[in-house]
């Protein structure tokens, strides 16, 4: 991937126009999905299709609104038409029915869209200048549990969609050689901790995150009846004076280190290495754009980096694995095994303190 220019001149000029009109195209797509235009075409099936007037009637849109949307949809290949009747294309079908597409779409619209207008300022200043569109916090993490809807739901649906896909297979891997005490750093809403505590009845889990997230994780674990084996450790990992709790034989970080700059990743990995029991294991579950099988997955991760720039904290990203592996080495750790394609998209790095 990416080792040659894949576009001929005609394709390039077409792609350039898609980008030039991308914000309008994006919003038109959102309206077509959410006002029922795509669903109206889906209902008829391929042979019949609908006229503009029929779509207007089915969706309660004006004929004008239905027409501009459907005509925009033609150029976007979301719909196609024959003899004045409009049909749902394959792209329209994915926009309507594919969960990953929906989650990515809602995340972009509800969390990133307004903030993206501040990308230039964010990159020049190394801070998330677009975050003010959601709230007054220095980074998104202070606002993660309290940001307004629909951003709150869309952020969590995005985060959980990917980690939910990887957790079951990781939990079975853990069960094959279970630790006594697992430290979940960046536990967020506690879904991984819940799964592990339910699967492994002897396991104790330490939870590290910022206080508001720990409150929500705690509530989840209480509702699941496993909270007595969970031990919260509220802390800001970037506070140089705070050390991680000790006594854990497996440290786990999932979709966590991408929230930090290169120097911060090294700092956190060092701290994690220091808190490990002798012979302990450190498992890092991450998404690397260069290790994806499909271009759509690599693309999604490359664009997600820009969310970190303008919304999250201004200095982190979804890393290229070669950059990230260098950080692991800088932290004095070595990788004992690397597994790609966990749950489809993740890479598991099993690390230990370098001898
Ligand atoms: C993307 S979520 C990861 C969620 C979860 N581990 C998963 O795999 O779905 C990142 C988590 O890191 C936490 N976090 C970010 N910065 C932090 C910091 N400085 N100290 C402690 N936790 C932090 C956030 O509050 C959030 O819960």
Residue 58's domain is classified under what CATH number? 1.10.10.10
| Residues of the domain holding 67 | 9-97
Burial 137-151 (b: 16+ CB within 10 A, else e): eebbbbbbbebeeeb
Residues 91 and 141 in one domain: no
Residues 321 and 187 in one domain: yes
pLDDT score of 189: 95
pLDDT score of 45: 58
> Quick one: average pLDDT of 143-149?
96
Residues 308 and 189 in one domain: yes
Q: Which atom of ligand 1 is nearest to the CA of 189?
A: 27
Distances, alpha carbon 241 to alpha carbons 236, 245, 259, 331, in Å = 10, 13, 20, 18
Residues 296 and 335 in one domain: yes
State the CATH number of the domain containing residue 279: 3.40.50.150
- On whether residue 109 sits in a domain, the answer given is no
Residue with the smallest CA separation from ligand 1 atom 8 is 254
Residues 163 and 267 in one domain: yes
Of the residues 41, 66, 97, which one is the last residue of a structural domain?
A: 97
- On whether residue 2 sits in a domain, the answer given is no
pLDDT score of 277: 86
Split at pLDDT 50, 70, 90, the class of 24 is very high
| Tens of pLDDT, residues 88-104 | 999 999 999 999 999 99
Residues 16 and 150 in one domain: no
| Tens of pLDDT, residues 42-88 | 986 557 899 999 999 999 999 999 999 999 999 999 999 999 999 99
Residues 125 and 92 in one domain: no
Residues 153 and 288 in one domain: yes
Nearest by Cα to 354 from 276, 291, 288: 276
- On whether residue 146 sits in a domain, the answer given is yes
- What residues contact 20, with CB distance under 8 A and at least 6 apart? none
> Quick one: average pLDDT of 138-158?
97
Length of the chain: 355
Mean pLDDT of the chain: 96
Ligand 1 — pocket residues by CB below 6 A? 141, 144, 159, 163, 186-188, 209-210, 213, 236-238, 254-256, 259
- On whether residue 112 sits in a domain, the answer given is no
pLDDT score of 245: 95
pLDDT score of 130: 98
Which one has a higher pLDDT value, 279 or 137?
137
β pairing state of 204-209 and 333-342: unpaired
Q: How far, in Å, from the CA of 38 to the mean position of ligand 1?
A: 36
Residues 162 and 298 in one domain: yes
Q: Give me the number of domains the chain comprises.
A: 2
* Percentage, residues of the chain above pLDDT 70: 99
Distances, alpha carbon 131 to alpha carbons 85, 118, 231, 314, 341, in Å = 43, 9, 31, 10, 32
Q: Which atom of ligand 1 is nearest to the CA of 260?
A: 16
> Quick one: average pLDDT of 287-311?
97
Q: How far, in Å, from the CA of 146 to the mean position of ligand 1?
A: 14
Of the residues 45, 62, 97, which one is the last residue of a structural domain?
A: 97
Residues 307 and 189 in one domain: yes
Q: How far, in Å, from the CA of 260 to the mean position of ligand 1?
A: 10
Residues 55 and 163 in one domain: no
Residues 123 and 88 in one domain: no
C-beta separation of 92 from 78 below 8 A: yes
Q: Which atom of ligand 1 is nearest to the CA of 212?
A: 25
- On whether residue 45 sits in a domain, the answer given is yes
Residue with the smallest CA separation from ligand 1 atom 15 is 141
- 185 bridge partner residues: 208, 253
Best residue among 111, 128, 131, 141 to mutate for probing ligand 1, ranked by most atoms within 8 Å of CB: 141
Place of tokens 């040659």: 4
Whether 25 shows a pLDDT value over 90: the answer reads yes
- On whether residue 3 sits in a domain, the answer given is no
- What residues contact 112, with CB distance under 8 A and at least 6 apart? 130, 306, 307, 310, 311
> Quick one: average pLDDT of 197-210?
97
Separation of alpha carbons 42 and 316, rounded Å: 40
Split at pLDDT 50, 70, 90, the class of 355 is confident
- On whether residue 104 sits in a domain, the answer given is no
Whether 179 shows a pLDDT value over 70: the answer reads yes
């Amino acid at each position: 991937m990416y080792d040659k220019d894949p576009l001929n001149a005609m394709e390039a000029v077409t792609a350039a126009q898609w980008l030039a009109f991308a914000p309008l195209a994006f919003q038109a797509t959102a309206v077509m999905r959410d006002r029922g235009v795509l669903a109206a075409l889906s209902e008829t099936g391929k042979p019949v299709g609908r006229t503009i007037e029929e779509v207007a009637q089915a969706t309660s849109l004006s004929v004008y609104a239905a027409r501009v949307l459907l005509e925009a949809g033609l150029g976007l290949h979301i719909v196609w038409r024959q003899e004045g009747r409009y049909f749902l294309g394959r792209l329209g079908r994915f926009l309507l029915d594919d969960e990953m597409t929906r989650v990515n779409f809602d995340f972009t619209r509800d969390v990133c869209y307004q903030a993206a207008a501040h990308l230039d300022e964010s990159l020049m200043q190394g801070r998330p200048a677009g975050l003010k569109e959601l709230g007054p916090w220095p980074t998104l993490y202070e606002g993660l549990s309290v940001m307004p809807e629909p951003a709150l739901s869309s952020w969590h649906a995005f985060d959980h969609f990917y980690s939910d896909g990887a957790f079951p297979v990781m939990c079975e891997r853990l069960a094959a050689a279970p630790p006594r005490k697992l430290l979940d750093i960046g536990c967020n809403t506690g879904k991984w901790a819940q799964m592990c505590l339910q699967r492994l009845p002897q396991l104790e889990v330490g939870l590290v995150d910022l206080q508001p997230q720990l409150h929500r994780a705690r509530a989840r674990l209480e509702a699941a009846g496993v909270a007595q084996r969970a031990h919260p450790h509220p802390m800001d990992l970037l506070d140089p004076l705070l050390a991680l709790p000790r006594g854990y034989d497996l440290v786990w970080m999932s979709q966590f280190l991408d929230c930090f700059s290169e120097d911060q990743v090294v700092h956190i990995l060092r701290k994690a290495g220091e808190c490990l029991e002798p012979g302990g294991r450190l498992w890092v579950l991450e998404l690397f754009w260069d290790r994806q099988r499909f271009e759509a997955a690599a693309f999604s991760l490359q664009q997600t980096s820009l969310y970190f720039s303008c919304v999250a904290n201004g200095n982190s990203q979804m890393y290229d694995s070669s950059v990230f592996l260098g950080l692991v080495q800088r932290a004095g750790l070595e990788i004992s095994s690397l597994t790609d394609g966990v749950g489809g998209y993740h890479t598991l790095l099993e690390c230990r303190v370098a001898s």
